[in-house]
């Protein structure tokens, strides 16, 4: 398999970069990159995937932090009211 369109199709189909490099017999991924011309649509898709993953991770951290802070507030309220921790009455 040779030619930049073949390389591009492999990359855009999701094949691992090292696999593609090995298949065409290049010693270095940089050489393969020279012959790979992915589309703007593919580049945008990859950027969107990374941004979505980063946003999801940030949201998970924020929710975990908010939950931990809420638990700390509950523990503080229990301590201030004299109730033993774990015997909170939720309304």
pLDDT at 52 over 80: yes
Q: Is the dihedral of CA 76, 78, 82, 85 positive or negative?
A: negative
Q: What confidence score (pLDDT) does residue 4 get? A: 72
Q: What is the pLDDT of residues 57-75, one digit of tens each?
A: 999 999 999 999 988 877 7
Those residues with Cβ within 8 angstroms of residue 30's Cβ, 6 or more apart along the chain or in another chain: none
Q: CA-CA distance, 63 to 51, in Å (whole number)?
A: 18
The answer to pTM > 0.75 is no
Q: What is the DSSP letter of 50?
A: H
């Amino acid at each position: 398999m040779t030619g930049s369109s073949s390389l591009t199709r492999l990359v855009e189909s999701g094949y691992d970069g090292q696999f593609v490099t090995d298949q065409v017999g290049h010693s270095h991924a940089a050489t393969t990159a020279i012959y790979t011309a992915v589309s703007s649509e593919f580049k945008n898709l990859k950027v969107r995937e990374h941004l979505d993953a980063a946003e999801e991770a940030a949201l998970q951290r924020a929710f975990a932090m908010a939950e931990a802070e809420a638990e700390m507030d509950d523990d503080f309220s229990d301590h201030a009211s004299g109730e033993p921790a774990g015997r909170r009455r939720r309304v």
